[in-house]
Structure 1
């Protein structure tokens, strides 16, 4: 296995960090929409969302 350059390692770490940040924000947005829908269903049970 040949050695990997520092620039390549920096690029890989940056891409991994970006993926983690995007996944975590996606989870936060998804969870907040689920909670909002539950609250709306509880407040207005006769409506369809």
Structure 2
């Protein structure tokens, strides 16, 4: 195998870190939305109707 330059490794690590950060933020936003909808449906069952 051909050796990989330091600059290429830095770029790969940066892209992987960015992907992990974006996925984790996506999960946090999704979980917050699900929790908020669940809480709203408990407090106000008639507003959201049968859309859940």
Q: TM-score normalised by the shorter chain: which range applies? A: over 0.9
Larger relative contact order, structure 1 or 2 (CA cutoff 8 Å, min sep 6): 1
Report the equivalent of 1:44.
44
TM-score, scaled to structure 2: 0.89
The one-character-per-residue Cα deviations of 1:1-49 (angstroms, maximum 9, x if unpaired) are: 1000000000000000000000000000000000000000000111226
Which stretches in structure 1 are left out of the alignment for 5+ residues?
Answer: none
TM-score, scaled to structure 1: 0.94
**Segments of 4+ moved more than 3 angstroms:** none
